Structure 1
């Protein structure tokens, strides 16, 4: 009677098999990618754990003491979005503050039925969902993943509560937030001026 191989024997045979150079590269790439996901909890039904080092990659949080990031980490969670997925919609309640770990996010507004314009993009390391930091805030744009993206999300209220306990570092973060909004305002103003120059009729409507 043929004896069945144990899981360990099957795995050993898998490694000893002569795959050839192309297959070896493919197999080991897949194997170690899967091993990394298992270690982080991406499979087996477990949510991955956010670490302080994950938060250190976010520009808004760079330079903050590890004690603050360690306190934030358990409150944050990983979310993966496929290309084209809508993260939040304009006008909806803003609960989570988002930080982009991987991928690219587009911010859009719907100015009329079936007419959507882009206000800008969020790249790796940057944050979005600022309305969650305002009491009863609502999103003023749509956020759409334009490629597979990995996002860190933390409730806005929790984010602020942690910072409020550290006034010195809260000031640094809020200073960076001000710089973000300053750049955004300048960009939107330039966009508006360009539209006015291309469409003089709109300018006439605004004349007093």
Structure 2
């Protein structure tokens, strides 16, 4: 799994072996806090199973969800920043397993491996682009279309009927899409007229191409 991650693509076997030998796997029940905003960044993390939420607190004390990460995603690139403090709080929102690598070990590998240094820079650039695209999506697309786009990303086919399993509690999905849970519920209800039925965590899509047309604004 580590080798298949974009972060470690092309990395020499000895570098991968060093990282794994000096790292460790943690089992995290739902609700486990991996790291806290503004605390010293002493570990680099990769999600092996489950889902981890990244969040920050506003000046008023409200929590803002900034990202949800799953299998193969790396976390806490804050260890590359100065001063090395976590910019966010990381918490398991489902039972999870994560790979934890001491920050100093990871930094040593970044310094000695051109591939890892390059991959880390590319990953951070992609994260910035993804954040920009998410902001653009929130500003450009109505809530119902945002939910439709989310469902389409879970589909494994481009046309025909499909059934998808929601990977997270609806509260976290709402936060990921920049809306309140009640707004998400109303959006699911409105999608019925476009062939979408929600039953618990299972979503049935009557015709994927039809939902794609709606999400793209090509509907009557």
TM-score category by the smaller chain? 0.5 to 0.7
CA shift in 2, pair 1:193/1:132, >3 Å = farther
Q: Deviations over 1:73-102 (max 9, x none)?
A: 112111111101111111111111110011
SS at match of 2:58: strand
Q: Deviations over 1:28-71 (max 9, x none)?
A: xxxxxxxxxxxxxxxxxxxxxxxxxx522433213322222112
Indicate which of 73, 81, 94 corresponds to 1:126. Answer: 73
Indicate which of 143, 147, 163 corresponds to 2:90. Answer: 143
**Number of residue pairs matched?**
141
1:86 and 2:44 aligned: no
Contact 1:133 1:157 in 2 (8 A): no
Aligned alpha-carbon RMSD (Å) = 2.4
Q: Deviations over 1:108-136 (max 9, x none)?
A: 12225552121120111001111112243
Contact 2:53 2:67 in 1 (8 A): yes
C-alpha deviation, 1:189, in angstroms:
6.2
Indicate which of 12, 16, 26 corresponds to 1:69. Answer: 16
Inter-partner Cα distance in structure 1 for 2:82 and 2:97: 26
Contact 2:46 2:99 in 1 (8 A): yes
Indicate which of 102, 107, 123 corresponds to 1:176. Answer: 123
Inter-partner Cα distance in structure 1 for 2:50 and 2:97: 6
TM-score by length of 2: 0.56
CA shift in 2, pair 1:60/1:106, >3 Å = same
C-alpha deviation, 1:187, in angstroms:
2.8
Q: Which sections of structure 2, spanning at least 5 residues, go unmatched?
A: 142-220
